[in-house]
């Protein structure tokens, strides 16, 4: 059994991948920037969660919904993948403590809203973290051509520039070909 199938069974108790999950996961583990377009329920989250168990370093997930972050963190911690999310209302002292935990490698997955990346001081603080994989969930929000454009998604490129050796993966269940081109352009990734 190969390493990704072993991780799939160890943490999720699944024996097989669905759709293009295995191809996407291998691409990420191989260090390729990847744009993933799978339908809702197509297993997008697994495509970045599983590599976090293999890649040496932190996977940093940018997600637009607090409820989704809470749910994902709960599920990951429950299956043994150390995770947390930055709350938007956290004060600097709490953020500093969480970043220290990240620096010491205490978390595999960390979730954050795109609005948190508006803070230059936050970006400065996380420079010390060993971030190896940056995930942009709901990536269609980055495109002005998308139905759910969010201006704060445009700041994600600042995060990517802070970690030039990190692998980037972007996920959408609803991106048109025009929106996909916009995502690639705005994130500065090739796939």
Q: Can you give the CATH number for the domain in which 32 is found?
A: 3.40.50.300
Contact 138, 48 (CB under 8 A): no
**Looking at the 3D structure of the chain, how many domains does it have?**
1
* pLDDT digit string, tens, across residues 122-173: 888 899 999 999 999 989 888 765 556 667 877 898 889 999 899 999 999 8
Mean pLDDT for 101-127 is 90
Which range marks the domain in which residue 38 is found?
A: 3-187
Conformational region of residue 150, where left means phi above 0, alpha means psi within -120 to 50, and beta covers everything else: beta
CB atoms inside a 10 Å sphere around CB 115: 15
pTM of the model: 0.92
pLDDT at position 118, please?
84
Share of residues in the chain with pLDDT > 90 (%): 56
Mean pLDDT over 7-25 rounds to 96
């Amino acid at each position: 059994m190969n390493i990704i199938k072993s991780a799939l069974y160890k943490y999720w108790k699944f024996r097989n991948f669905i759709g293009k999950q295995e191809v996407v996961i291998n691409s990420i583990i191989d260090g390729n920037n990847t744009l993933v377009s799978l339908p809702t329920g197509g297993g997008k989250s697994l495509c970045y969660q599983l590599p976090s168990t293999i890649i040496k370093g932190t996977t940093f997930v940018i997600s637009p919904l607090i409820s989704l972050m809470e749910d994902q963190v709960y599920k990951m911690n429950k299956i043994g993948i150390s995770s947390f999310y930055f709350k938007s209302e956290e004060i600097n002292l709490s953020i500093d403590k969480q970043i220290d935990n990240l620096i010491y490698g205490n978390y595999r997955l960390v979730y954050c809203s795109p609005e948190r990346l508006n803070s230059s001081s936050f970006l400065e603080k996380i420079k010390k973290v060993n971030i190896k994989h940056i995930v942009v969930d709901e990536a269609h929000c980055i495109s002005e051509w998308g139905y759910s454009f969010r201006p704060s998604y445009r700041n994600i490129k600042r995060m990517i520039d802070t970690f030039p050796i990190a692998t980037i993966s972007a996920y959408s269940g609803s991106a048109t070909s025009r929106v996909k081109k916009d995502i690639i352009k705005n994130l500065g990734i090739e796939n």
